[in-house]
């Protein structure tokens, strides 16, 4: 038996009762599948109705080695770097086939004739513009370009230290180049064939002053995050690729203030990057009690939904404003992300936004970039083909490059706009009012899945806890038809919930445009009415043994309290006029509610049993 205290719950009380010291990293998925024979006004396709598209790839660039990075100069010209290809497989000599091109008038969407201004670049994967200069992130260095027009001079601003850059390790990428807080930011890749002795600075977020000099590390335990995006509230978000210690793709929030030395730890284990080395997580004991592992803000399912997500960008206007989108090098298409902050941490949902193909973006997207007019430049890359090396799946449909212009509209088809956490389930927000069938719980089916990371590539330690059915207690449609409140019989954090919706249309009989949303539940959203008695939440103690919970009730005077499941079912109750104890039988792990009256006040306390 172990004593447990109050968990931080962002200002409201949450009592934690647990006899497990570690929980696997989990996620919540909402899967909305159509019934037989259903169709969509906009079948998920190559171009989302929110965008119009223009293909703007100059013919002079039809043979380049993929666009590794793109930036816009103050005069509207574009600066791009081409990746040039990988040195994979291991042992192949270093490749310095990358190039830098200036594309006149790129910001206008009507580019002029490109001019090549540099060759021999070492696998560059990022461009950043600072004033009239621009900078390129090569694999081993940040290169500076000063000049104008078609005449530019290259110099080295800063080089990666040899202690953590191995030019013979083909997977030691340097991704993206972002300017924020008077510094450059980029991420680093780890060895493809897992190396427990990879340096600390592999799988990291690195900060370098604009003038060069000493670097700062602000994240650990990433695997292969292709780029840094600036999302809601100006915060950093990076896309993770499935692999060793990563059972699926993911989107991580990377805070840079009030973090441990070298940043938070995100789960890719080496001997150098966390306090406990390569000790795997376990549901029976703490793997590293003094070096917390932080879960993704959003798990991105691997396979049919995503394979190799790339740097995300924030949507600035229209019905999806405040959300993010990203591309996928191998799977193609675009993903959309809704993010909310619960108990001080970001979590949210992933959606399919559009596929790749001839009707839209016909290549694997590596980067989006806004023009001054509000359109999005879309840059493509690919490997494993076109003599560019790398893994055979580093491309979509054999494509290696591309350049398009997407212009946002105000159009939004009938689909899920957002999913938010509630104390007993989820609020599903739609872009248009739904018909009455959305409020029928029979149209919703729910299953849960648990991810437990292991060293094996893309592995999950336990498949027996996947696809477990959870009862839907109710589905309530709001008066305006744009919200469905799903109440579940039980709700557990850090778990993937697959929620299927059948036969729901808009009030104008429009079928949903997309049928899947994935929500990652790391924390439960706040209750609508919490009225704790005095400082009860600060004084309560609870214990758990073999699933049986005992809660101390330190009240003087009359009280009557009950422990409820989130569907309202009573688990146990206690009443009295002096301090006592509420004791339960064996409970299923999940969230419960301690509700009642004491000392003349209303009591509502959330209880998490783990």
DSSP 208-245: EETT----EE-EES-------EE-GGG-EEEEEPPBTT
- At residue 493, the pLDDT reads 80
Q: How crowded is residue 112: how many other Cβ atoms within 10 Å of its Cβ? A: 14
Cα 139 to Cα 159: distance, rounded to the nearest angstrom: 9
- At residue 238, the pLDDT reads 98
CATH 2.60.40.1220 fits 30-41+414-519, yes or no: yes
Q: How crowded is residue 282: how many other Cβ atoms within 10 Å of its Cβ? A: 14
End-to-end CA distance of the chain: 13
Same fold, 30-41+414-519 and 51-277+289-408: no
Cα 478 to Cα 262: distance, rounded to the nearest angstrom: 46
Domain boundaries of the chain, sorted by first residue: 2-21+530-609, 30-41+414-519, 51-277+289-408
Q: Tokens 């291991």 belong to which residue?
A: 90
Cα 74 to Cα 130: distance, rounded to the nearest angstrom: 9
Query: Which 8-state DSSP code applies to residue 387?
Result: T
Q: Tokens 């998925």 belong to which residue?
A: 29
Q: How many helices and strands (H and E) does the chain possess?
A: 1, 45
- At residue 547, the pLDDT reads 62
Q: Which two tokens stand for residue 387?
A: 């003599």
- At residue 536, the pLDDT reads 47
Q: Which two tokens stand for residue 576?
A: 């009295």
Domain 51-277+289-408 is of which CATH architecture?
A: 6 Propeller (2.120)
CA dihedral 568, 572, 577, 579 (to 10 degrees): -120
Cα 504 to Cα 256: distance, rounded to the nearest angstrom: 42
pTM above 0.85, yes or no: no
- At residue 545, the pLDDT reads 56
Q: Cis (ω within 30 of 0) for the bond into 89?
A: yes
Question: In the chain, which stretches have pLDDT less than 70?
Answer: 1-43, 87-94, 282-287, 390-393, 526-547, 556, 566-568, 599-602, 610
Q: Identify the CA nearest to 423 among candidates 347, 486, 497.
A: 486
Cα 341 to Cα 321: distance, rounded to the nearest angstrom: 16
- At residue 397, the pLDDT reads 84
- At residue 210, the pLDDT reads 98
- At residue 14, the pLDDT reads 36
Cα 66 to Cα 388: distance, rounded to the nearest angstrom: 9
CATH 2.60.120 fits 2-21+530-609, yes or no: no
- At residue 283, the pLDDT reads 46
Q: Which residues contact 327 (CB under 8 A, 6 or more apart)?
A: 309, 310, 333, 334, 335, 361, 364, 365, 366, 367, 368, 378
Say if CB 326 and CB 313 are below 8 A apart: yes
Q: Which two tokens stand for residue 506?
A: 């808009």
Q: Which two tokens stand for residue 239?
A: 């896309």
- At residue 9, the pLDDT reads 30
CA dihedral 371, 383, 138, 186 (to 10 degrees): 60
């Amino acid at each position: 038996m172990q004593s447990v205290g109050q968990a931080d719950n962002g200002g409201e009380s949450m009592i934690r009762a647990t006899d497990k010291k570690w929980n696997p990293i989990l996620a919540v998925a909402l899967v909305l599948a159509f019934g037989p024979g259903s169709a969509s006004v906009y079948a998920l396709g190559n171009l989302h109705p929110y965008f119009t598209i223009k293909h703007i790839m100059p013919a002079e660039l039809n043979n380049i080695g993929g666009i590794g990075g793109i930036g816009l100069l103050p005069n509207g010209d574009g600066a791009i770097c081409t990746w040039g290809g990988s040195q994979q497989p291991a042992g192949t000599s270093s490749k310095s086939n990358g190039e830098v091109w200036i594309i006149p008038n790129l910001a206008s969407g009507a580019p002029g004739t490109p001019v090549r201004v540099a060759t021999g670049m070492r696998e560059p994967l990022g461009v950043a513009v600072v004033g009239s200069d621009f900078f390129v992130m090569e694999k081993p260095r940040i290169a500076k370009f000063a000049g104008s027009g078609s005449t530019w001079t290259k110099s080295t601003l800063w080089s990666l230290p040899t202690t953590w850059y191995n030019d013979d390790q083909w997977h030691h990428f340097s991704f993206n180049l972002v300017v924020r807080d008077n510094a450059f930011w980029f991420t680093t890749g780890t060895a493809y064939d897992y190396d427990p002795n990879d340096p600390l600075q592999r799988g990291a977020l690195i900060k370098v002053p604009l003038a060069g000099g000493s670097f700062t590390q602000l994240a650990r335990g990433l695997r292969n995050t292709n780029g840094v995006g600036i999302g809601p509230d100006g915060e950093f978000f990076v896309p993770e690729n499935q692999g060793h210690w990563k059972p699926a793709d993911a989107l991580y929030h990377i805070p840079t203030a009030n973090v441990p030395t070298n940043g938070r730890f995100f789960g890719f284990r080496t001997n150098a990057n966390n306090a406990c080395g390569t000790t795997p997580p376990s549901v029976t004991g703490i793997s590293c009690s003094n070096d917390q592992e932080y879960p993704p803000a959003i798990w991105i399912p691997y396979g049919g939904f995503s394979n190799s997500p790339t740097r995300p960008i924030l949507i600035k206007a229209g019905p999806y404003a405040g959300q993010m989108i990203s591309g996928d090098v191998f799977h193609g298409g675009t993903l959309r992300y809704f993010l909310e902050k619960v108990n001080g941490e970001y979590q949210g949902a992933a959606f399919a936004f559009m596929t790749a193909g001839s009707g839209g973006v016909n290549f694997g997207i590596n980067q989006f970039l806004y023009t001054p007019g509000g359109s999005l430049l879309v840059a493509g890359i690919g490997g494993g083909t076109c003599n560019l090396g790398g893994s055979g799946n580093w491309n979509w449909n054999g494509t290696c490059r591309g350049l398009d212009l997407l212009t946002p509209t105000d159009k939004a088809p009938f689909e899920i706009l957002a999913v938010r956490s509630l104390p007993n389930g989820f609020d599903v927000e739609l872009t248009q009012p739904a018909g009455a069938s959305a409020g029928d719980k029979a149209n919703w089916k729910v299953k849960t899945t648990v991810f437990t990371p292991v060293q094996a590539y893309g592995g999950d330690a336990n498949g027996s806890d996947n696809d477990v059915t959870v009862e839907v207690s109710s589905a309530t449609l709001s008066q305006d038809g744009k919200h469905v409140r799903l109440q579940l019989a039980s709700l557990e954090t850090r778990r993937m919930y697959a929620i299927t919706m059948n036969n729901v249309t808009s009030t104008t009989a429009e079928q949903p445009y997309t049928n899947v949303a994935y929500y990652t539940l790391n924390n439960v959203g706040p209750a609508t009415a919490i009225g704790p008695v005095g400082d009860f939440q600060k004084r309560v103690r609870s214990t758990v043994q073999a699933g049986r919970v005992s809660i101390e009730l330190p009240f003087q005077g009359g009280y009557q309290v009950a422990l409820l499941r989130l569907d309202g079912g009573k688990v146990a109750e206690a009443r009295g006029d002096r301090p006592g104890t509420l004791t339960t039988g064996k409970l299923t792990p999940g969230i419960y509610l301690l509700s009642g009256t004491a000392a003349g006040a209303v009591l509502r306390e959330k209880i998490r049993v783990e």
